[in-house]
Chain A
Amino acid sequence: MTMNIFQQEFKMHTRSVITWSLGLTALILLVVSLFSSFAQDAALLNEMMDNFPEQLLTAFGMTGLDLATILGYFSLAFLFVQIFLALQAANYGFSLVSVEEREWTADFLLTKPVGRTRILTSKLLAALSALAITDIVVWASSFFSVSMWAGDAAYDTSTFLLLMASIVPFQLFFLAVGLVVSLLVKRIRNVTPYAMALGFGMYVLSVFGDMLGESALEKITPFKHFEPNYIIQNGAYDLPLVLISVAVIVLSVVGSYLLYARRDIPSAV
C-alpha cells in the first residue's frame, strides 16, 4: 500500500461518503420512526394476510414478513438500505480504476515508482475505508432508531447483529464485481449506467424471482444471498448462498489484480 495514493483516493471519496451516509441515516430514521403508528394496524394486517393465498403473498414478497414486530418492520427499511448500499459500492467499484483512464491521469499515475499491484491495493483499501465509514454510520443509525422507536417490542439482538453484519460482504460483492467488470471492458465513459445496471439489476432480479417463484435467480443475486427475511426468520445466514457471494468476491478481486497488471492503458497524447 502507498500512503499518498491512499490519502488522495480517500479524499476523493469523502464527499460521496458524507452524502450517502446522510441519505441512509435519513432513510432509516424516517422509516423506523413510523413503526409505532404502523404496528397498530399491522396486527390487523397480519390477520388479513393469513387469509391470502400463498401465491399472492409470494408475488408481493410478503411471505413470512411479520410487520407487527420491529425486526419484521425493520427489514422493510433494510431492503432499501441494501439497494442504496449496492449502488454506492458498485459506483466505487466501477470508478476505482476507470476514472484514471477517463480523465487521462492513468499515465501520470503509472509512471510513479509504484507497482500496479500496490496502486490497486491502495485504491481498494481507500474504497474499503469509505465503505466502512458508511457501514458504521448505518449501524449507528439503525441501533439508535430501533432502540428509540421499538417501544416495548422485544427483539432478538443476535439476529439484529447478523442482519447488520450482512451488509459488509454485501457491499464487497458489488465493489469487487464492479471493479472486475470495469477492467474487462475497454472503456467506461460514464459510471452511473453501469452501477445502476449492476445494483438495481440485481434488485430487480431478486424481486422478479420472488414474484415468479423462480429459484434459479436466487443463485445470482446478493439480494437473495443476504435476504433480510431469511435472516430474521432463521436467525442465521443461508450458508450455501452466502458462500456463492464469497466465492464471487474472491474470484473478482483476484481477477482484477491479474487484469490490471497487464492492462493496456490509453494515454491522452
Chain B
Amino acid sequence: MNIFVRELKSNLRSLIVWGVVVVLFVTIGFSKFSAYYGNPEMLAILDSMPPALLEAFSFQAFNLTTVTGFYGVMFTYFALILSIAAAMWGSDIISKEERDKTVEFSLTLPVTRGRVVTAKALAALVNCIALLLITLAASLVSAAPYQPDDEFYQFLGLCTLALIFMQLIFLAIGIFLGCAMKRYKRSSSVAVGLLLGTYFLSVLSGLHKDLEFLKYVTPFKYFDPGMLLREARLDMLYVGLSLAIIVVSLAGAYLTYARRDLYI
C-alpha cells in the first residue's frame, strides 16, 4: 500500500502533463469540427455515393459531418496517445528504480518482489484509468454542444472500452519489458519502439490485401472504429487475443522480476 501511494504521488506530475495534452487535443479537434459539422457540400457527396462503397471504406465511421463520425476519426489518435502513455508508465515505473539507484532500497523493504510489482502495476493502472476518464470527460463536454444522439453515446462507450483494452495491452507489455530487460535503460525505448512498429504495421495492413494477416499482430487493428460503429460490439476474437497478451506479459513480468539480477 505504501509503495502504491508513493508511486501514485511520484507519477502525478506526469499524469497532469498527459491530461493537459489530451484535453488540448480534444478541444482543438472539436473546435475545428464545427467547420465540418453538417457541411451540406460534403453531405451531398456522401449521399451521391453508392451505399456499397460507403460500406467498403467504412465512410459511415468517417463521416466527418456528424459528431459520431468525427469521434471515429479521433479514435485512432486517442488510441495512440493513451497507449504511448501506458507503455511509458509501465516500463518506467519498474526500471526507474535502477536508473535512480533506489532499487536496493526498495527491495530491502520487508515486501516480496512480487508485491512490489503488484503495487507498481496497480499504481500505473490507476494512472491509465485516470487519463482515460479525462479523455472521456473532455470528449463528452466538447461533444455536448452538437446534440449527440443515443448512437453517439453508445459508440463512445464502445470506443472507451476499446481504449481500455489498448491501454492494458501496452501497460502490460511495458511492465514486462521493465521487469525482464537486463539493460534497464532500453526498456522504455523498446516499449515505444514496439508501439510505433505495431502502429506502422496497422497502417501497412490496410494498404494491401496480402498483408491483411497483420491485423492479428498489431493491437491497433484489434478495434477498428468503423467496425465498432457498424456492428456496435467488440469482436470477441480480438478481446480474447488482447487478454492473452495481457496475461502472458504480466506472468512473464512476475516470473522474470522474481529472479532478476539487479544493476546497482
Contacts and interface: CB of A to CB of B under 8 A. Distances in A.
A56 B42 CA distance: 8
A212 B32 contact: yes
Contact of A196 (B84, B96, B200): B84
Interface string A81-110: 001100100010000000000100000000
A58 to B, nearest CB: 11
B112 interface: no
B216 interface: no
Nearest to A102: B99
A30 interface: yes
Given A102-B99, A192-B88, A193-B88, A53 B200 contact: no
Contact of B84 (A27, A84, A189, A200): A200
Interface string B54-90: 0000000000100000000100010000001000100
Category for how many chain B residues contact A? 20 to 34
A143 interface: no
A157 to B, nearest CB: 26
A192 B189 contact: yes
Interface stretch (A31-39, A120-128, A257-265): A31-39
B39 A55 contact: yes
Contacts of A200: 84
A80 B32 CA distance: 26
Given A53-B45, A56-B45, A208-B28, A189 B96 contact: yes
Interface of B is mostly: helix
B66 to A, nearest CB: 14
A30 B99 contact: no
Interface in B172-213: 188-189, 192, 196, 200, 203-204, 207-208, 210-211
A190 B188 contact: yes
A59 B46 CA distance: 15
Interface residues of A, number: 31
B149 interface: no
Contact of B200 (A27, A51, A213): A27
Interface in B14-50: 14, 28-29, 32, 35-36, 39, 41-42, 45
Contacts of A83: 196
B231 interface: no
Nearest to A87: B196
A87 B39 CA distance: 37
A214 B77 CA distance: 18
B41 A91 contact: no
B204 A30 contact: yes
A161 interface: no
A31 B205 CA distance: 11
Nearest to A34: B208
Contact of B41 (A53, A80, A211): A53
A80 B64 contact: no
Contacts of A192: 88, 188-189, 192
Interface in A190-211: 190-193, 196, 200, 204, 208, 211
B100 interface: yes
Nearest to B92: A190
Contact of B64 (A30, A31, A51, A56): A56
17 contacts: A34-B208, A34-B211, A37-B208, A38-B207, A52-B45, A53-B45, A56-B64, A80-B200, A87-B196, A102-B99, A189-B100, A190-B92, A191-B189, A192-B88, A192-B188, A192-B189, A196-B84
Interface of A: 27, 30-31, 34, 37-38, 51-53, 55-56, 59, 80, 83-84, 87, 91, 102, 189-193, 196, 200, 204, 208, 211-214
Among all A-B residue pairs, the 10 with the closest Cβ atoms: A212-B32, A192-B188, A53-B45, A192-B189, A34-B208, A53-B42, A192-B192, A193-B88, A80-B200, A196-B192
